[in-house]
């Protein structure tokens, strides 16, 4: 990620009161987005992310690619940081395969949508955000946390500041790791995102191949949520054997796959902070909640937090201080409902496909077929998932 030079803090010229209205701790996508949104209100924002210690190993190649929905796209477009089409590939169709013939297809055209979602190259988006912050006079990158009326904690799932504020974070591990990598494909992806639930009888695992490189691209992002031991085995395989395993698991859906990146992996968990706000602070993004990536909704939720929090701060009455607890509680109430619904949906789907008894397996695949032809129900679910 490109960083603008770190400027000294606090600013000179305002010795008696804090130089900043808001300190954002954590310069991930959620932290940067919040900084740019709040700067529109001419608030003075400090954005803090710790620098790598001297002598630290260079950052590994960033292979992340995320599915972002229409609401996230609109938000990022309003900040002029949405990447070009080559780095934000529209998904026109989605195919979800069960383990015993179940199939659900979602089609953008059938829903009168341009796309169901967009597969975004994360390094490209982060670069756009960093550049935008560099040109935003109301945001300063600082080299340590600074005093401010409001502290926004956007430090991701491993947040340390969250505990400093006395917030408990309950996390339940899925016993899986999300493996990410990129492949060149023999056949064009045709803007179709494909997902296999419990592939090759590996109950509860999910393999997704997401289109990259624009509408005519011949590249995909792999996200394979694999059981811990299986993930370790996959990670250790030579490149060609790893590619062969992926081709087998997806039934050669895109012809020959050639690994074109490093492999990265993350432990998967469902987690929630017991409170998201307190006097003078609020949590947003993964610092407040994480969900299983099978529905590709974690960052969409985080960007929803950013949009809601910025809107509530923008609309506050003039007498309300930025750190006012009543004000911040409005944000927590507004976001918890959406987050709970998404947690329940993704965890429910995960649990359903982690079940091994044969009757359950038949039933879930039958349920997929039924859902695929369910008309209004399918339309309702699709429109919620795309952020409408």
Ligand X SMILES: Cc1cc2nc3c(=O)[nH]c(=O)nc-3n(C[C@H](O)[C@H](O)[C@H](O)COP(=O)(O)OP(=O)(O)OC[C@H]3O[C@@H](n4cnc5c(N)ncnc54)[C@H](O)[C@@H]3O)c2cc1C
Q: Which residues bind ligand X (CB under 6 A)?
A: 25-31, 48-50, 66-68, 154-156, 158-161, 178, 180, 223, 266, 285-286, 293, 296-300, 302
- List helix spans (H) across the chain: 29-39, 70-78, 122-134, 161-164, 228-236, 239-249, 298-314, 325-354, 358-372, 376-385
Smallest separation (angstroms) from ligand X to the CB of 376: 26
Query: Measured from the CB atom, is 76 or 104 closer to ligand X?
Result: 76
Between β-strands 93-97 and 192-197, what pairing exists: parallel, antiparallel or unpaired?
Answer: parallel
Task: Encode 178-192: b = buried (16+ Cβ within 10 Å), e = exposed.
Answer: bbbbbbbbeebbebb
Residue 46: other Cβ atoms inside 10 A: 27
Q: How far apart are CA 355 and CA 83, in angstroms?
A: 39
Query: Measured from the CB atom, is 121 or 155 closer to ligand X?
Result: 155
Query: Measured from the CB atom, is 71 or 354 closer to ligand X?
Result: 71
Query: Measured from the CB atom, is 34 or 361 closer to ligand X?
Result: 34
Smallest separation (angstroms) from ligand X to the CB of 288: 8
Smallest separation (angstroms) from ligand X to the CB of 63: 10
Smallest separation (angstroms) from ligand X to the CB of 112: 23
Residue 315: other Cβ atoms inside 10 A: 10
For residue 265, give both structure tokens: 């992996």
Query: Measured from the CB atom, is 302 or 361 closer to ligand X?
Result: 302
Smallest separation (angstroms) from ligand X to the CB of 32: 8
Q: How far apart are CA 211 and CA 89, in angstroms?
A: 7
């Amino acid at each position: 990620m490109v960083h603008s030079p770190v400027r000294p803090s606090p600013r000179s010229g305002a010795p008696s009161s804090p130089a900043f209205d808001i300190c954002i701790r954590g310069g991930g996508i959620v932290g940067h987005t919040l900084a740019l949104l709040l700067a529109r209100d001419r608030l003075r924002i400090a954005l803090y992310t710790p620098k790598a210690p001297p002598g630290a190993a260079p950052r590994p190649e960033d292979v992340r690619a995320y599915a972002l929905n229409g609401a996230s796209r609109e938000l990022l477009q309003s900040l002029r940081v949405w990447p070009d089409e080559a780095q934000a590939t529209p998904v026109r169709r989605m195919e979800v395969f069960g383990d015993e013939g179940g199939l659900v297809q979602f089609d953008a055209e059938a829903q009168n949508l341009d796309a169901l979602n967009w597969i975004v190259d994360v390094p490209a988006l982060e670069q756009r955000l960093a550049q935008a912050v560099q040109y935003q006079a109301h945001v300063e990158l600082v080299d340590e946390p600074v005093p401010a009326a409001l502290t926004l904690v956007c430090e991701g799932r491993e947040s340390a500041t969250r505990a400093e504020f006395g917030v408990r974070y309950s996390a339940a591990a899925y016993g899986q790791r999300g493996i990410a990598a990129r492949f060149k494909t023999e056949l064009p992806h045709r803007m179709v995102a494909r997902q296999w639930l419990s592939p090759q009888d590996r109950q509860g695992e999910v393999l997704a191949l997401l289109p990259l490189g624009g509408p005519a691209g011949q590249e995909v992002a792999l996200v394979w949520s694999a059981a811990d031991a299986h993930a370790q085995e996959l990670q250790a395989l030579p490149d060609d054997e790893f590619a062969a395993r992926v081709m087998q698991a997806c039934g050669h859906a895109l012809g020959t796959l050639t690994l074109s990146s490093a492999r990265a992996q993350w432990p998967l968990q469902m987690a929630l902070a017991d409170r998201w706000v307190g006097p003078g602070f609020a949590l947003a993004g993964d610092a407040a909640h994480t969900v299983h990536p099978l529905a590709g909704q974690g960052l969409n939720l985080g960007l929803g937090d950013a949009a809601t929090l910025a809107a509530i701060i923008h609309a506050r009455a003039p007498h309300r201080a930025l750190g006012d607890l009543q004000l911040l509680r409005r944000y927590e109430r507004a976001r918890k409902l959406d987050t709970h619904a998404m947690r329940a949906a993704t965890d429910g789907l995960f649990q359903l496909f982690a079940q091994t008894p044969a009757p359950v397996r038949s039933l879930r695949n039958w349920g997929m077929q039924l859902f695929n032809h369910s008309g209004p129900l399918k339309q309702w679910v699709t429109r919620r998932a795309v952020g409408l």
